Chain A
Amino acid sequence: DAGVTQSPTHLIKTRGQQVTLRCSPISGHKSVSWYQQVLGQGPQFIFQYYEKEERGRGNFPDRFSARQFPNYSSELNVNALLLGDSALYLCASSLGPSGAYEQYFGPGTRLTVT
């Protein structure tokens, strides 16, 4: 069975540009969460989506947005990129949104903003 997949693997953007990252969850998983991991730090929660609705949002500016599609895949959008947005963006899927369900992580998308 395929695990969580993310695309692209690597991405280089310029300050001020916009970026879209994609995540496909494990088949049967209805919840997708997004995390940002800056080099040398632990991941930080950005969003959780379940059944196409936002279930939680971390302390990130409105430049960050996301959505979940009917097939449960998800996109993370970041507008007006800043140098500080350079990070590894991780997607995780789970059967449901609560703490009872284990999260499975994708390989991440490494975004570099120059």
Chain B
Amino acid sequence: KNEVEQSPQNLTAQEGEFITINCSYSVGISALHWLQQHPGGGIVSLFMLSSGKKKHGRLIATINIQEKHSSLHITASHPRDSAVYICATKSGSRLTFGEGTQLTVNP
């Protein structure tokens, strides 16, 4: 069983919709990352957070340390948001990754 669980695995939305991707983890962590991976493999770090909430443009990430849960929200989604979104927890020297959520935003 992966220590980091994401849901949903796949998500299809219409342009403009509000999107939420969830991440749950089972062990104590020092930080949690939200990453975006486009076809071809390149990974971009969206957020690193250890408490509370961060916002960057249309993206919002929240974390609840007590509940061991984080969410990534995308407001006013756009087809260019289509990608795999990966949650990763940092504990000690390593990152542990979720399986990713494949997001497709249709025009």
Contact = CB atoms under 8 A, between A and B. Distances in A.
Contacts of B93: 33, 48, 55-56, 97-98
Contact of A98 (B2, B30, B98): B30
A105 B44 CA distance: 7
Interface residues of B, number: 28
A31 B105 CA distance: 36
A112 interface: no
Interface of A: 33, 35, 37, 41-45, 48, 55-56, 58, 88, 90, 92, 97-100, 102-105, 107-108, 110
A45 B92 CA distance: 12
B33 A100 contact: no
B12 interface: no
Nearest to B87: A42
Main secondary structure of the interface of B (DSSP, over half): strand
Contacts, number: 68
Nearest to B92: A56
B97 A42 contact: yes
A8 to B, nearest CB: 13
B88 to A, nearest CB: 8
A108 B44 CA distance: 12
B28 to A, nearest CB: 11
A37 B41 contact: yes
Contacts of A108: 41-43
A100 B33 CA distance: 11
B97 A100 contact: no
Given A56-B92, A99-B90, A102-B48, A90 B98 contact: no
